[in-house]
Structure 1
Amino acid sequence: MNARNATPLPPLVEPAAELTPAEAERYSRHVIIPEIGSLGQRRLKNARVLVIGAGGLGSPVLLYLAAAGVGTIGIVDDDLVDASNLQRQIIHDVSSVGGSKLASAARALGELDPAVTVRCHELRLDSSTALALFADYDLIIDGSDNFATRYLVNDAAALLGKPYVWGSVYRFEGQVSVFWERHGPTYRDLFPEAPPAGASLSCGEGGVLGMLCGVIGSMMVAEAVKLITGVGRTLLGRVLLFDSQNATWRELTVRKDESIAPITELIDYELFCGVAAVPASTDDEIGVHELVALLLTRGEIGDANFELIDVRERGEHDLVAIPGSRLITLDRIVSGEVLSELPRDRDLVLYCKAGTRSAIALAELRSQGYTRMKHLSGGVLAWLHETESMRHQY
């Protein structure tokens, strides 16, 4: 790591006016820390922080930013609250299910500290919106769960000369770092190339220990506070890795790779990450009603007219599965270890949670010479929705 990264960076934000007596009392546990003091708290009051996502990481990040006295907090999200979110997305509650995550998060922050200005950005962050949005903030915190958004955040922040805090969680493991192209390495120095499509799963697909989000989210806010106030040594040039299953922390050094071409523009990040390459032809898809008809004419489970293959993980299959399906996970298909188990002389119908992984599996099998395949449009979610509707009709 460069020596310049071993010393504190200059404060990111100029201080606001003097704290009011009420503010001095509210943030007294910060103010009495010599390194922060009234000056540091005034910098927090004047800070504008944008948080990408009001989900697993965004929830603790938003709550601790507001509790810390960050004056302006922006939130980017266009999703709705689902009951399965509540296991880790602690900013939402039962009354929020079915509603906007933005509205739910803004309400929670308002109840925690009415003096905080909350800006809601209900949009899909992409190359057409990122630069204008980021320009209004001092610091970005990336709590997204996909590689396309992470590369977009990195490149937009680099073009604008802004720092950002990054975190990720998966099952029992979490990571956190700081990237700032002006002073050190970026996300592209850590991951020069995006992993192959389907090589990694989101929390919704692979699972995550709920409280891990709190650990990593808290670390992300600690880094944000240090950047804003200029206190301490940040994680710029380092990645902190936490294994909650074994209660261990590790640190990796990240150095700027001078051979990487400078970032000069935003690109198509779904294409860069291979997401856009997933086959989208309706010829490859089978709808729920068509699958129901096939299953009704199938006869006894195990008839050889077609095979129904679930490409999700074991835990997902055990939770809910389409009757008569066989579990063969996507990673085993991509690795090629199950090709001998999949017949080439009968039809295959692949499905996953929502259709993304099954499309990837279909593309992989096609590259191996399989031709008699379709995948379920909308996945098991569409299956559950349609079959529930059919039950209500009869």
Structure 2
Amino acid sequence: MRFFILGNINCGKSTLAKHMQLYLKSKGLEYPILSIDDFRIKYGDGSQEKEDMAQNKFYLSVKNTRNAIIEMVGFGNIGTKIVENLDKNSCIIIYVESQPDICIKRLKIKKKILERIPYPESINNIEQTILHLDNYFKIGKLKEKWNNVCLKLYKINTTNNPDYFIEKLPIYHYHYLSEIIYLLKSLNYKKLISFGGLGRCDINIFSDIDLILITKRDIIQIYSLLKNFFESKKEEAFIIYILEEKIIIKFFSCILIEIAVISNFSKYILFYHGSNIKDISKSILIGDEKLEKEIKSQILSYVPNTIDKEINIKKLYYYLELLQKAYLNNDDFRFYFMNNLVINQIIRILCLKENITEFLYCPKNINKLLKKYKVRLIFWDMITDKQEHIKILSNFLASIGINYNVYTN
């Protein structure tokens, strides 16, 4: 993956890049730092001709280095050239936000270092450049310029702790995602779509990577390709296996990747629609505008299965009856099992209270819902007395407006 660290002059890009490189190295991943100023030092002499040469060398290095930390301001001719030649959704942007007065203050401290960099303009004009760039950042020009090629834009303030920020960044996720995209593209696969947290662009270090690969090719063939590819990388131990229509890859860094291999998008629209993806274009990792239009069309015409309150109440009562029988029979396992079915129906009913009408195996923001209604109270741990648990359950049902007493004798 290409991680672009962008921001104003002297905002702290180089410091963040070095911290990030060290962190990746500690995890066994080698990521070179490509800095435009390093190329100026190597190829420039202050003239516009040599500046153009330095920028071209920098661009070629960025283009030919698949995994890299790239440090630059983000604007100008070089920024435009890179943006115009990168694939859609193919990089991660980290914007280092800063106040111009901090950058200018650092300018005075770092004057001797900056004097070694052959800018095509006088170092005395850099203060004005900082103020000019600050206006561009403030009005959102960076996001506007990089939005098409950027999968996700993160922001860190120059005063924040870089190590803390990096530790919370799902770097591993993006690294392995990039590896999979690279492999599939090189083998001419045309349609790879993300859903779940990645599709919504809100993954964290605990998220899974959920992907949909649309192809007519056999899943066994794709499984073999991925297995051989990651074995050849020798970066990290992993487990890979097929589960029905999915290829599961579990890395020992606790990254779990699920790739659904299907022949038609409609076969997985249930899960894609349930992911509440706002920007379809950001979920397309391999594909063109035709694929985006196809997804939009199917989403517009899709009618999801919704929660039926009456049916769910009936199911709840049925499972409560079975729970009571398990209690009377002193059957711990059946009591545990039926209690979980009761909880599942209760969660469906609570979803309706929160205007969540679509229910997959696990609704979005479920943890907030569990906390709000204190659902943890009705989990049974096979240790608590069953009669006491039934009293707790009956009180809980009454608290959410369900009048049903589970009798214990």
When normalised by structure 2's length, the TM-score is 0.26
Higher relative contact order (CA 8 A, sep 6+): 1
Instruction: Using structure 1 for the length normalisation, give the TM-score.
Output: 0.27
